[in-house]
Amino acid sequence: MESLRRLSENLFLFADTCNVYVMRNGDRAILIDFGSGAVLDALAEIGVEEVEAVLHTHHHRDQCQGDGILNERGIPIAVPARERHLFEDVEAFWRHRQLLANYDVQSDSYTLRRSVQVSHELADYNVYRWRGLELSILPTPGHTRGSVTLVGDVDGETVAFSGDLISGPGKVWRVHDLQWAYMATDGLNASISSLDALRRAKVDRLLPSHGSPIGRPQAAIDQLIENLSRLFQVVSFTPEPVSAPDLAINPRFRQVSKHLWLNASAVANFYAIVTDEGEAMLLDYGYASQDHAGDLRRFVEHSIRELMEVAAVKSIDIVIPSHYHDDHVSGIPTLQREYGTQLWAHEIFSDILEHPGAYDLACLPVESMRVDRVLKEGEEFDWAGFRFQTEHAPGHTHFAAHTFVRVDGLKLALTGDNILSSMTGPRIGGPVYRNRFELDGFQTSIRKLIEFEPQMLLTGHSAAISVSPEVLEEPLHRAEELATAFDLLTEEEEATGFSIDPRFVAVRPYRARVAAGGELDLAITLRNHRDEEAVFTIVADLPNGWKADPDSIEIEVAGGATVMCSMKLNFPRRQTPGRKIAYCLDVTVGDRRFGQEAEGLVDVLDPASVERDVGDGAASATARH
Ligand SMILES: [Zn+2]
Ligand SMILES: [Zn+2]
Ligand SMILES: [Zn+2]
């Protein structure tokens, strides 16, 4: 059993899925955060008989996955006011969480699977009082939007329980939590201002939720502000040189060369290669305009009739997407239905196009689509006398590919959103951690792109841009800077990969439909970001009556490797039907317990209604939000 580490006379630390801090007064105590709840068994060793309250710095599961025990024992729970609903109304959160076409990339999926009863709110700038102790509540958004830091005098020292705002001098526990909106630097910016406020609070010691207590707060905070600012500089970018043309007044198509057409009013931009016989291949085909993308996220057919007129197109034979994002593929089902178009897609993302509901990623297409031809990595293929090659191109997202082709003597590369233009030249399209992002992704893809020596990039949002290999050195340089910035920010003893990968343990299907009394096969992906081998232990945490077979898995994963394992869930016949019921997987890597790192959602259906469902049937993964 873990034991308590004494920090001062009445202040103790218990290492669990997060650091749990114990403040003692005689045989009574309050706790800051709670982890799995294992701390309760250790309290007797310091003479504590009763816990009078548990205060939370934020809502992530590693802070509170054991809170059900507190409700059972009648121990009051106090939570940040801004995150109260993420403790006591989580069923509603899960029911309403957008899964498809989702551009909200904050880390709120680390929310409890089951509600707990909350007794007190920790409101910004208020004071929490307990037996003579006063804790000031400082709003410190960053790691989450609603995070708070609690500052007070304990044993003659001013301490700050700072949650996951800082984990060590210059370090954060997780970088991916610092992005809330798509492509934004919002959480990063908020962290810098929260750290600045904390610096002005002039505390003697910082007590983080991950990492060790920090004895020289000013220097540690200054170092982190510097490191965060460095990342901010790499990822913030200058705006586009021109805004997209207005749909109503501008021509939609531009002839780039004899056989190549560009439509820059659509979001994303798309391209047509047209033969002398009037056969066309489209590269991407998404929403009609920014206003159709925006909040609407609805595809209405556009531009095809016009293309037929201006470019004498007779048939839309093939469409090849650059990556799986809805803004690049949302029109493909319509092409297939209305024009008999075939979809050819790289193997790295073809399954996402066919089963978007099986994944938890940003920007998933709302409608699933049939992939007619899966293009293998590096495959060369021909169409209408043109020779193509396609290569996996991680960066903007892991699930992307560059497609190379020579048209009218021009060497073209379809680069999707990996490269976008800015006032100062080409820039990288990211990072977006919820697209699945790797440290060296951009570097790998841009190096391969430079080898091809393209003369023109067909980009997703910056139209067709002429380039030379030298021009591409700039985004490559940015990609290297980005990797350095991550390394500086993350803890030395832990691999950077864990800090930028919100899904190093993931279940497939993420959302499933199952009849009460039925069963569901889960495929679980485990990615070991460490260089050396590690044992992954996975334990299922399920709603009442559900069973997992096996209910825990122990598996060795080689350094840098990704492995799959499987688990079967069984549902009781008497289960009340319900939508998006969450279950969790508790994850330990080596001797480090991450806690309930992964989750999945199940729609449990009335068996009678499933029998009537002549469509895709039980356990399908096409359910819509
Ligand atoms: Zn957290
Ligand atoms: Zn895009
Ligand atoms: Zn994209």
- Average confidence (pLDDT) over 316-327: 98
Ligand 3 center–CA 618 separation, angstroms: 31
The mean predicted confidence, pLDDT, of the chain is 93
Ligand 1 center–CA 58 separation, angstroms: 7
Ligand 2 center–CA 22 separation, angstroms: 47
Ligand 1 center–CA 63 separation, angstroms: 7
Ligand minimally distant from the alpha carbon of residue 328 = 2
Non-local CB neighbours of 199 within 8 Å, separated by 6+ positions: 217, 218, 221, 222, 225
Residue in 568, 606, 601 with CA at minimum distance from that of residue 90: 601
Supply the pLDDT for residue 618.
35
Edge to edge, the sheet with strand 50-55 lists 5-8, 11-15, 19-25, 28-32, 50-55, 77-80, 120-122
Locus of tokens 């009335």: 606
- Average confidence (pLDDT) over 304-322: 97
Ligand 2 center–CA 341 separation, angstroms: 22
Residue in 589, 519, 509 with CA at minimum distance from that of residue 99: 509
CATH numbers and ranges of domains, the chain: 5-235 (3.60.15.10), 253-471 (3.60.15.10), 504-612 (2.60.40.2310)
Ligand minimally distant from the alpha carbon of residue 165 = 1
Long-range contacts of 383-392 (CB under 8 A, 24+ apart): 383/281, 383/317, 383/318, 384/273, 384/275, 384/277, 384/279, 384/281, 384/317, 385/275, 386/273, 386/281, 388/320, 390/320, 390/346, 391/448, 392/346, 392/348, 392/445
Higher pLDDT, 422 or 77: 77
Supply the pLDDT for residue 619.
40
pLDDT tier at 611 (50, 70, 90 boundaries)? Answer: low
Ligand 1 center–CA 233 separation, angstroms: 24
Ligand minimally distant from the alpha carbon of residue 396 = 3
Supply the pLDDT for residue 423.
77
Question: Rounded to whole angstroms, how far apart are CA atoms 581 and 602?
Answer: 5
Judge residue 318's burial from the number of C-beta atoms within 10 Å of its C-beta, 0-12 exposed, 13-18 middle, 19 or more buried: buried
Ligand 1 center–CA 164 separation, angstroms: 6
Ligand 3 center–CA 461 separation, angstroms: 9
Look at residue 614 and tell me whether its pLDDT is greater than 50: no
Ligand minimally distant from the alpha carbon of residue 434 = 3
- Average confidence (pLDDT) over 453-464: 95
- Average confidence (pLDDT) over 472-476: 93
Tell me the one-letter amino acid at 343. Answer: L
Look at residue 244 and tell me whether its pLDDT is greater than 60: no
Question: Rounded to whole angstroms, how far apart are CA atoms 151 and 162?
Answer: 8
Supply the pLDDT for residue 494.
79
How many Cα neighbours within 13 Å face the side chain of 60? Answer: 27
Spell 231-264 as b/e; 16+ CB within 10 A means b. Answer: bbebbebeeeeeebbebeeeebbbebeebbbbbb
Locus of tokens 């889960």: 522
Ligand 3 center–CA 581 separation, angstroms: 29
Question: Rounded to whole angstroms, how far apart are CA atoms 370 and 543?
Answer: 34
Locus of tokens 């210059």: 170
Ligand 1 center–CA 572 separation, angstroms: 33
Residue 454: φ, ψ to 5°: -70, 150
Question: Rounded to whole angstroms, how far apart are CA atoms 574 and 558?
Answer: 42
Question: Rounded to whole angstroms, how far apart are CA atoms 336 and 304?
Answer: 13
Residue in 223, 207, 60 with CA at minimum distance from that of residue 142: 60
Ligand 2 center–CA 293 separation, angstroms: 10
- Average confidence (pLDDT) over 345-362: 97
Ligand 1 center–CA 523 separation, angstroms: 26
Ligand minimally distant from the alpha carbon of residue 208 = 1
DSSP 8-state assignment for residue 243: P
Look at residue 277 and tell me whether its pLDDT is greater than 90: yes
Supply the pLDDT for residue 425.
79
Ligand 3 center–CA 600 separation, angstroms: 24
8 Å CB contact between 195 and 252: no
- Average confidence (pLDDT) over 323-334: 98
Least confidently predicted of 2-16, 239-253, 507-521: 239-253
Ligand 1 center–CA 133 separation, angstroms: 25
How many Cα neighbours within 13 Å face the side chain of 398? Answer: 15
- Average confidence (pLDDT) over 295-321: 95
- Average confidence (pLDDT) over 591-601: 97
Residue in 234, 231, 32, 238 with CA at minimum distance from that of residue 128: 32
Ligand 2 center–CA 420 separation, angstroms: 10
Residue in 480, 322, 285, 511 with CA at minimum distance from that of residue 399: 322
Non-local CB neighbours of 461 within 8 Å, separated by 6+ positions: 240, 267, 268, 269, 417, 420
Ligand 2 center–CA 556 separation, angstroms: 37
The 10s digit of each residue's pLDDT in 558-568 is 999 999 999 99
Ligand 1 center–CA 459 separation, angstroms: 36
Ligand 1 center–CA 19 separation, angstroms: 11
The 10s digit of each residue's pLDDT in 49-63 is 999 999 999 999 999
The 10s digit of each residue's pLDDT in 506-542 is 999 999 999 999 999 999 999 999 999 999 999 999 9
Q: Which two tokens stand for residue 170?
A: 């210059």
Question: Rounded to whole angstroms, how far apart are CA atoms 161 and 18?
Answer: 12
8 Å CB contact between 406 and 422: no
Supply the pLDDT for residue 139.
98
Least confidently predicted of 126-130, 271-275, 359-363, 460-464: 460-464
8 Å CB contact between 494 and 532: no
Look at residue 316 and tell me whether its pLDDT is greater than 60: yes
Ligand 3 center–CA 418 separation, angstroms: 8
The 10s digit of each residue's pLDDT in 157-205 is 999 999 999 999 999 999 999 999 999 999 999 999 999 999 999 999 9
Ligand minimally distant from the alpha carbon of residue 437 = 3
Ligand 3 center–CA 324 separation, angstroms: 8
Ligand 1 center–CA 524 separation, angstroms: 23
